[in-house]
Amino acid sequence: MARDPSKPARSSPPPAGTSGRRTGERPVSTRPGVLPKPEPVVRRKRRRSPVPAFLVLLVAVGVTAGLLVLLLGRGSGSRSPAGVSGRVAPAEPGWGDQPGGGAAPAITAAPAITAAPAITAAVGEGSKDVASAEAALAERYVVVDTGRMPWASPTAGPRPRLAYLPPGSQLILLARLADLQASDEGRLFIRSLGPEAETAVDQLAAWCGCTPAEIELVQAGWQAGGADEVIGGVAVRLVEGCRVPADDEPRRTAWGATQPVEIEGETYHKGQGISFWVPQGEHERVLVVVVEPASGPAAGPAAGSLGLGEPLIAETIRESIASRDQPADQSAADLPRDLEILAGMLDADRHLTLFGSPHYLLNRGRAALAGPLVKLFKPLEWFFGESIVAAGLSLHCGENCYLELDAVTPFDKPPRKEATELFSRLVSLPSAVEAYAAALNPSPYGRILVLRLPAMLRLLVANARWAPEGEGIVINSYLPGHAPHNLAVAAELTLAQTPVAVGATAAAGTTTQAPAADPLTQLERSITIVFPKDTLEMAVQMVAEMSGVPIEIVGPDLQLEGITKNQSFGLDERDKSARDVLRVILAKANPDGKLVYVVRPKGEQEGEVETILVTTRAAAEKRGDRLPPEFQPPPKFK
């Protein structure tokens, strides 16, 4: 097949069915393609979030699935002739036998890059078909695999169109659900993301009046709303032949009570905090759902990029109408420069793509990292630093699993230099995950997968390749076809658990296991926490990790008192008990003394443990929770 000269040359995918495993290395799964039954895995009940339920689910699903692709690895870049970054193809089945990308095909010499005689004649005779001549010339290029050039993608689709994206979106998810549902591994991958994924997909299908298998594309965009709030919207495109309900009664059943609102010749249906829009000209195959901020349009620019004081759905409709005449090879969304560059590097045919601004995710978008995902904050901050201004993570299921990370660097930082630094951080990920997993006491139902996760990541890193391409960086890898759901399950189980003890020994740098004890006793462990500025949420997470005590913040309780998890302060507490440090943190977050903690007893289900809950004095008294001695009022003497 002729190579498109506008695309970088890449290596062809490895032969189907090969694992890329080095001799003697453990396979990713002892039963390829089989997902362990999730029912016995004990999951803690999650607290309610200020983000609307379906949006929380989609954020969690998108971030969890997308961040798996961060676990990529090594190689170095090279260029193909004419300055095009190279992507070459191993022809031997032994791809991945060498660390850093795999064995190259047996090519003894690189042929000279010259035009074919027929092309030379055509151009010499004054042919005006320059494009055809260039394409034919491109066919004559011979790309030599150095063992370092990125793999060729299994897809060759256009850049994402991004129509109906809410203005101001900073984190964007694209999921081709029908294609994923069509394969065994795709269905297992969706299941492996947990019940949240299935709930989110079922909710979208219910709004559209279809089955999940009839959803061709889900496009979700998020941005910051108020404190602890993520807002945004979802555009759902159905497969050919399916339609969103057009009659009032089915829509009322699916959407609830709504009021029609006319704007720019379009009609959207306004509900309680959520709006629905079926765009004209799409033959009722597209449904746009937008969540408004809890504070309403008056929230200002945070509620939408235009800052016009109108609902986000109205801004979405206006921008979508204005972009209808955009050329097909351009984005229909008004994106910042960095995201626009990144969007041009992406492939709309991939099964799953998550891209956006790391700065947003780690700052105003922190609410997206809810529940167990909060543990990813520090690793992501370390991984991206200030050298990556936009990043895209994509996955494609098939006979082999394809993973790709695309990143854009600041204009004053050369991609090649930043790619080298990014690589050095990627290589250390498996060992870091191994150290973290060693401090866990996993549930017996998921122990094998949790302990096997570091080996999975080492295999992924060994098969990865990278190179600078244009204004960005590309890192990609192939894995066995059954890898996605194994990685997803192992990562989800690992994040869902807290290390039982983290006692770092300064001299040896080792980790010691503390004997099991009740939470208040474990809080007597001496710890040191120093930071110039961070949030209540992150400070509590540090205490939990250093003491080995599970600690959760009951967000709704705090909201009733006007307290958010994003309250920021500095801390310098050295060689003090975790109990004292936690009390200092609560006092700094709320000097009025409204914040307390209580002990939630161990549940009846196997695997549940006693947990410290950070709540408010009023909520604890209302529930009848017993306060620790330090929070109880002094006795009154007559």
Same domain, 305 and 393: yes
As beta bridge partners, residue 276 has 269, 289
Q: Are the C-beta atoms of residues 107 and 143 closer than 8 Å to each other?
A: no
**In which residue are the tokens 């196997």 written?**
606
212 φ/ψ angles, rounded to the nearest 5 degrees: -55, -35
The answer on 515 and 483 residing in a single domain is no
Residue of higher predicted confidence among 461 and 176: 176
Domain membership flag for residue 66: yes
Same-domain status, 351 and 447: yes
Q: Name the token pair of 78.
A: 């090279």
Do the domain assignments include residue 585? yes
Instruction: Give the closest residue to 482 by CA, choosing from 398, 421, 415.
Output: 398
| pLDDT of 365 higher than 70 | yes
Tokens 């795999």 belong to: 102
Q: Cβ(223)–Cβ(231) under 8 Å? A: yes
In this structure, which long-range contacts are made by residues 520-524, counting pairs with CB atoms below 8 Å and at least 24 apart in sequence?
520/579, 520/599, 520/628, 522/547, 522/548, 522/549, 522/578, 523/547, 523/549, 523/577, 523/578, 523/579, 523/582, 523/612, 524/577, 524/578, 524/579
Q: Does residue 565 carry a pLDDT above 50?
A: yes
What are the angstrom distances between the C-alpha of 389 and each of 168, 170, 386, 428, 617?
16, 11, 7, 21, 41
Q: Which helix (H) or strand (E) holds 390?
A: strand 390-396
Domain range enclosing 445: 54-73+155-495
Q: What percent of the chain has pLDDT over 90?
A: 34
Q: How far apart are CA 488 and CA 334, in angstroms?
A: 33
Pairwise CA distance, residues 413 & 390, whole Å: 13
Q: What are phi and psi of 356, to 5 degrees?
A: 160, -160
In this structure, are 527 and 593 located in the same domain? yes
384 or 18, higher pLDDT: 384
For residue 476, the one-letter residue type is N
204-213 CB burial, b ≥16 within 10 A, e <16: bbebbbbebb
Quick: pLDDT tens for 83-136: 334 454 433 323 233 333 333 222 222 223 223 233 233 333 333 454 554 555
On the question of pLDDT at 48 being above 50, the answer is no
Note the pLDDT of residue 307: 45
Residues 389 and 532 both lie in one domain = no
148 within domain boundaries = no
Closest by CA position to 224, among listed 288, 290, 171: 171
Give SS3 for 467: strand
Tell me the pLDDT tens digit for each residue of 475-533: 999 999 999 999 998 888 888 877 654 443 333 334 444 444 578 888 888 888 887 77
Question: Is the CB of residue 165 less than 8 Å from the CB of residue 221?
Answer: yes
Round to whole Å and give the CA distance between 277 and 528. Answer: 52
**Mean pLDDT score of the chain:** 74
**Which of 495, 511, 536 marks a domain boundary?**
495
Specify the CATH number for the domain of residue 530: 3.55.50.60
Find, among 619, 625, 566, the residue nearest to 595 by Cα: 619
Q: Is 9 contained in some domain?
A: no
Residues 193 and 284 occupy one common structural domain: yes
**pLDDT of residue 328 exceeding 90:** no
Report pLDDT for 129.
52
Tokens (6 digits) for 628: 């620790």
pLDDT higher than threshold 90 for residue 334: no
Assigned domain for 127 exists: yes
201 versus 131: which is more confidently predicted?
201
Q: Which residue has the higher pLDDT, 324 or 638?
A: 324
- Of 495, 516, 543, the one marking the end of a domain is 495
Q: How far is CA 364 from CA 53, 228, 302, 535, 553, in A?
A: 19, 8, 10, 12, 19
pLDDT at 400 over 90: yes
d(CA 258, CA 281): 22
Q: Is the domain of 132 the same as that of 65? A: no
Pick the closest to residue 222 from 88, 393, 382, 354 (CA basis): 354
End position of a domain, from candidates 139, 166, 182: 139
Q: Is the pTM of this model over 0.85?
A: no
pLDDT digits (tens, 9 = 90+) for 256-284: 999 999 999 999 999 988 999 999 999 99
Q: How far apart are CA 579 and CA 144, in angstroms?
A: 61
The verdict on 64 and 90 lying in the same domain is: no
Residue 40 included in any domain = no
For residues 476 and 614, state if they share a domain. Answer: no
Angle formed at CA 371 by CA 369 and CA 374, multiple of 5 degrees:
45
Q: How many domains does the chain have?
A: 3
Are residues 528 and 399 located together in one domain of the fold?
no
State residue 207's pLDDT score.
95
Q: Is the pLDDT of residue 160 over 80?
A: yes
Query: Which of 64, 72, 57 has its CA nearest to residue 373?
Result: 64
Give the residues across from 85 on adjacent strands: 79
Is residue 240 pLDDT above 80, yes or no? yes
Picking from 205, 176, 220, 194, the residue whose alpha carbon sits closest to that of residue 395 is: 176
Least Cα distance to 214 among 236, 187, 245, 184 occurs for 236
Residue 65 belongs to some domain of the structure: yes
Q: Is residue 149 part of a domain?
A: no
* Strands 551-553 vs 611-616: parallel, antiparallel or unpaired: parallel
Considering the domain architecture, whether residues 465 and 596 belong to the same structural domain is answered as: no
CA angle 496, 501, 506 (to 5 degrees): 130
Q: Stretch 367-386: mean pLDDT, rounded?
A: 81
Q: Are residues 297 and 366 in the same domain?
A: yes
Instruction: Count the residues in the chain.
Output: 638
Whole-number Å distance between alpha carbons of 221 and 62: 10
